[in-house]
A and B are shown apart, each in its own frame.
Chain A
Amino acid sequence: MQNRIAAIVGAGTLSLFVLLALAYAFWRTRGPMPTVTLAYPQLLSSALLYVAQENGYFAERGLDVRHAPFPTGRDALEEMLKGGADVAVAYESPMLGQVCRGEDIVALTKIHSSDRDTGLVLRDADVASLRGKRVGVPLGTNAEFVLAQLLHFSGLQPSDVVIADLPPSRVVEAFRSGEVFAAAVWNPLLQEALAAGGRGAHVLFSDVYTEASLLLAKRASLSERGDSFVRLLRALHDAELYVSSHPEESKRIVAAALPQVSLEQVDTLWSDFDFRLGLDHVLVASFQMQAEWLDHADRGCPSLPDVSTLVDPSPLRLVDAAAVTVFQLTVP
């Protein structure tokens, strides 16, 4: 009997030591969470960021994310290039603009895509009637690219109209007041401008352009921050699944994160957005179109870049291989 008690006590003590050793090893390997500063536009298109933050996916993936919101992706990208952020969210146009200026940045993933987000709102006329008239647009954004496409397919050149560079916050007011005859901008400002334009105002979208907001990083930072970026992508992938399975809850989260947008507006516009991660050939084709446009518009792009090198699918492939359908970079 005494032998049995001694054996039980001995086994229990040994088990306790083993558990303590395992806990210590786990604590040593875990370490402090890496920090990533994320610059992004305060737009509906950034929904996955809000959901990931709200649901704690960043922390769950072992990442401490610091948020740097901006009115546009263009501004967010500039913040990253200035060193104020590790990653930025921006549309293709600002990205291509910076690439043309020689910045070495890559897209890690799309976080949304839409062909009914950015458009041209105008009064009682078609695009061809804009000749010689004042058109407002935030230059350096994809709104400028949309405007150029619509003008081109209507037989006009940008020089045929008077371009007014407006910050997004002024676009609605300028259109309402008649300061500009038409304006190119994204939602929800587009819908607000439409409402402000009164009777006869209408919106046109490009039928050959699908916009995408991209998670961008400096190519040089990939090697040293690659693990953090993968964690970031995993958290966004978690958010993607949540948005897909809980659309109503997701809308409420996004509406709560955007003070200037009501839940009703979010609900109205939600179906125009595809909140999925991905890197595909359509995106590369879009890069190609915008690069050609920049070159054609003589916007200071000395040489057309190889757009297929502007995406790096490696981190995303680790997170969701099916989301990567671009293969140019994988074949040497």
Chain B
Amino acid sequence: MRLSKKILLPYVVQIIFLACVSLYVVFRFSVRQYAFTALVETLSRQMMLIDEMGLLERELQTDSLSYVMTRDPATLVHIRQLQERTGQVLSALGDLTEAQRGMELLDAYAGGRAKTETMRQRLMEAVRKGEQPSVNFYMDKWLILARLDQARIADFSVHMNTVLHRELEMGGVLTEEIIRLLLILTLIAILFLLFLSFYLRVSVVRPLAMLTERANKIAGGQLHVPVGFSGRRDEIGELGAAFADMARQLQATYANLERRMRQRSGELAVSQEQFKRAFQDSSVGMMLLSPAAGWINVNRSALDFLGYGREELFRHEPRSLVHEEDSPAFIEELGRLLSGEMRMSQMEVRLLHRKGFPLWTLFSVSVVRSKEGKPLYFIAQMQDIHRRKVELLAQSEFVALASHQLRTPLTALRWALGRAVRVFRGASADERLLREAYKASTQLAAIIDAMLTISRIEAGKVRIQQEAVHVRDFLYALKEENRDEWAGKHLTVSIIVPPQMSVHTDRDLFHECVMNLFSNAIKYTPQGGAITLEARREPRHVILSVSDTGFGIPDREQQRVFTKFFRGENVVLREPNGTGLGLYLVYIIVRILGGHVSFRSREGQGTTFTVALPEKPSDH
């Protein structure tokens, strides 16, 4: 039998037993008590009536009435009244008597009384008629009948008295019986509980305690402790068997784990040695930094690059090796890595050589995390880009200088060509040539402006002047500024912007950026198209988008959109005057403003460029 049933069954049996016995006792006691009380009341009432009847009968038997029968009306009336009263009492007794024997006795009495009454009437008749012989005979008979009535009522009285006493004794017996029953019940319940307690201790508690003790030994490392209960097929037996299985599996797992740990330890040692060698012997400079940007390790190449010995380098904070102009961006980048915002960062920073001069470095950093995601350390690679960077800066400076130097003669050239176009208006052949030359000079000026701006930015010579720019006013001003262009092509320009929205940024660069996007949209949207300028706020960023219903960018060219001199194949013939520098300029402006730019385009349907800029200056 299952243990749960074993435990449950005795309780159920006991509960049923107790319930049945209790119900029996209560029922028996209450029913009998009620019946007993009612019966005793009835019998008591009956005894009173019987006593009255006996008295009436005796009064009829008195000598004054029985033997001295006269014509005195008072005597006759008295006898009649006594008879009537006995009749009433008899009737009352009949209502109260229920027991068979009692009823038989009462019936016998009633029958006798009927005879007595008949005889009385005859006697009275004889008395009234004065028939003395008849009076004597009737009197004798009446006396005998009355005496028998008295005897019968006495029998009835004794019988009912016996019944009453028997019931009273039964009441006492019943009480004793109930007390005895309750005592027996209590004794049985106590014995049963003792047995149950012993049974549970032997069947359940002791095996469980044994299991607990063995579990503690196993937990203490004694894996070979014997477990299980042979011969038991209940839950305890199953528990013991499961426990034995668990112990065996634990032993096997433990042995396997030991073997694998030995294997893994060897592998780990090899791996650590390999990593150590790769780290130390790498031709690329490498650093391991703590999450708080403290030193953990640095390899030989990095030490050589920076000109330090290991101990000497470790006396300096890592951040103190970063050029002061690059330090804020460097710190911010590390913070983003720690927060999980990005997994890897690549930045161009200037590290300070031991002798104090800066060295341009491509610094690639990632975070190594635990399984729980907790940052363990930074691992950084330093790539020496100093020579290339210096050359690039020199090149940018040259371009800037050249552009600046070209602008003055080009301005003079444009002015002269413009003047010539107006002077030679009407001379068709010369005018067309002059007009083409003027347009070419204008485009050249635009290219030179763009190149100048790009060069200045790349050379790091642009100083960002942050201020609050009211976006709504800004966009409406931009729309008005270009009215001739979009109105001339019958374009619809819509602006969607929250009323009080502003962004902290450099107004000129922001204008250059948005102007380029808006200008492209006008340029590459056919007649009657639509342009939408929309601004909205997102957490920590202001989003500005420029959408058009223009020619779109072919899918195959979308990855080159932000490169220098990019122009879509589908628009070169339609609009030959583009410089190919506008989107690249947008890209680098957004970068130095701390934001990012993206686009979504389908050829023939239109393009949407989206610029996300930090909302606050601290986010730059």
Minimum CB–CB distance from A140 to chain B (whole Å) comes to 22
Main secondary structure of the interface of B (DSSP, over half): helix
A207 within 8 A of B: yes
B570 within 8 A of A: no
Bound CA span A37–B544, Å:
139
Residues of chain B with a CB closer than 8 A to A326's CB = 154-155, 158
Residues of chain B with a CB closer than 8 A to A280's CB = 151, 155, 158
Contact B140 A289 (CB under 8 A): no
From A210, A285, A322, B101 is in contact (CB under 8 Å) with A322
Contact A288 B147 (CB under 8 A): yes
From B144, B152, B161, A289 is in contact (CB under 8 Å) with B144
Instruction: Enumerate B110-155 residues with CB–CB distance to A below 8 Å.
Output: 115, 133, 137, 140-141, 144-145, 147-148, 150-152, 154-155
Contact B137 A153 (CB under 8 A): yes
A101 within 8 A of B: no
Bound CA span A289–B158, Å:
21
From B105, B108, B133, B151, A285 is in contact (CB under 8 Å) with B151
Instruction: From known contacts A155-B137, A288-B147, A321-B162, infer whether A207 and B115 are also in contact, taking CB-CB under 8 Å.
Output: yes
Instruction: From known contacts A153-B140, A280-B155, A322-B162, infer whether A208 and B148 are also in contact, taking CB-CB under 8 Å.
Output: yes
Residues of chain B with a CB closer than 8 A to A289's CB = 144, 147
Q: Which residue of A lies closest to B136 (CB)?
A: A155
Residues of chain A with a CB closer than 8 A to B159's CB = 322, 325
Contact with A along B453-494 (1 / 0, CB 8 A): 000000000000000000000000000000000000000000
Bound CA span A2–B168, Å:
60
Residues of chain A with a CB closer than 8 A to B158's CB = 280-281, 324-327
Q: Which residue of A lies closest to B156 (CB)?
A: A325
Residues of chain B with a CB closer than 8 A to A281's CB = 150-152, 154-155, 158
Instruction: Enumerate A279-332 residues with CB–CB distance to B below 8 Å.
Output: 280-282, 284-285, 288-289, 321-322, 324-327
Contact B155 A208 (CB under 8 A): no
Residues of chain A with a CB closer than 8 A to B147's CB = 285, 288-289
A152 within 8 A of B: yes
Minimum CB–CB distance from B244 to chain A (whole Å) comes to 30
Bound CA span A282–B105, Å:
11
Bound CA span A285–B145, Å:
10
Bound CA span A208–B148, Å:
8
Bound CA span A321–B169, Å:
14
Bound CA span A326–B161, Å:
11
From B108, B133, B161, A155 is in contact (CB under 8 Å) with B133
Contact B152 A282 (CB under 8 A): yes
Contact B162 A282 (CB under 8 A): no
From B101, B108, B140, B161, A152 is in contact (CB under 8 Å) with B140
Instruction: Enumerate B215-248 residues with CB–CB distance to A below 8 Å.
Output: none
Residues of chain B with a CB closer than 8 A to A207's CB = 115, 141
Contact B141 A153 (CB under 8 A): yes
Bound CA span A281–B150, Å:
8
Count chain B residues whose beta carbon lies closer than 8 angstroms to a beta carbon of A.
24
Bound CA span A154–B134, Å:
9
Q: Which residue of B lies closest to A292 (CB)?
A: B144
Minimum CB–CB distance from B154 to chain A (whole Å) comes to 4
Residues of chain B with a CB closer than 8 A to A288's CB = 147
Residues of chain A with a CB closer than 8 A to B144's CB = 208, 289
Instruction: Enumerate B161-205 residues with CB–CB distance to A below 8 Å.
Output: 161-163, 166
Minimum CB–CB distance from B8 to chain A (whole Å) comes to 32
Residues of chain A with a CB closer than 8 A to B163's CB = 322
Minimum CB–CB distance from A93 to chain B (whole Å) comes to 16
Bound CA span A85–B155, Å:
31
Contact with B along A210-225 (1 / 0, CB 8 A): 1000000000000000
Bound CA span A210–B152, Å:
12
Contact A282 B137 (CB under 8 A): no
Residues of chain A with a CB closer than 8 A to B150's CB = 281, 285
Instruction: From known contacts A155-B133, A208-B144, infer whether A284 and B151 are also in contact, taking CB-CB under 8 Å.
Output: yes
Of B145, B159, B163, most buried by chain A (CB within 10 Å of CB) is B159
Minimum CB–CB distance from B124 to chain A (whole Å) comes to 17
From A285, A322, A324, B148 is in contact (CB under 8 Å) with A285
Q: Which residue of A lies closest to B160 (CB)?
A: A325
Residues of chain B with a CB closer than 8 A to A210's CB = 148
Residues of chain A with a CB closer than 8 A to B137's CB = 152-155
Contact A325 B105 (CB under 8 A): yes
Residues of chain B with a CB closer than 8 A to A284's CB = 151
Q: Which residue of B lies closest to A284 (CB)?
A: B151
Minimum CB–CB distance from A107 to chain B (whole Å) comes to 15
Minimum CB–CB distance from A283 to chain B (whole Å) comes to 8
Bound CA span A75–B166, Å:
40
Instruction: Enumerate A137-172 residues with CB–CB distance to B below 8 Å.
Output: 152-155
Bound CA span A208–B150, Å:
13
Minimum CB–CB distance from A104 to chain B (whole Å) comes to 24
Of B145, B147, B161, most buried by chain A (CB within 10 Å of CB) is B147
Bound CA span A284–B161, Å:
19
Instruction: Enumerate A1-45 residues with CB–CB distance to B below 8 Å.
Output: none
Q: Which residue of A lies closest to B147 (CB)?
A: A285
Minimum CB–CB distance from A284 to chain B (whole Å) comes to 7
From B141, B155, B166, A282 is in contact (CB under 8 Å) with B155
Minimum CB–CB distance from B611 to chain A (whole Å) comes to 99
Bound CA span A208–B112, Å:
9
Minimum CB–CB distance from A173 to chain B (whole Å) comes to 33
Residues of chain B with a CB closer than 8 A to A154's CB = 137
From A208, A321, A322, A327, B145 is in contact (CB under 8 Å) with A208
Bound CA span A288–B150, Å:
13
Bound CA span A326–B141, Å:
23
Bound CA span A153–B137, Å:
5
Minimum CB–CB distance from A287 to chain B (whole Å) comes to 10
Instruction: Enumerate A55-85 residues with CB–CB distance to B below 8 Å.
Output: none
Minimum CB–CB distance from A326 to chain B (whole Å) comes to 7
Minimum CB–CB distance from B176 to chain A (whole Å) comes to 20
Contact A282 B151 (CB under 8 A): yes
Minimum CB–CB distance from A102 to chain B (whole Å) comes to 26
Residues of chain B with a CB closer than 8 A to A325's CB = 105, 154-156, 158-159, 162
Going nearest first, the 5 A-B pairs with the smallest beta carbon separation are A281-B151, A325-B155, A285-B151, A325-B158, A281-B154
Known: A153-B137, A153-B140, A284-B151. 8 other contacts (CB 8 A): A281-B152, A281-B154, A281-B158, A282-B108, A285-B148, A285-B150, A289-B147, A321-B166
9 A-B interface contacts by CB (under 8 A): A207-B115, A208-B145, A280-B158, A281-B155, A282-B108, A282-B151, A321-B162, A325-B158, A325-B162
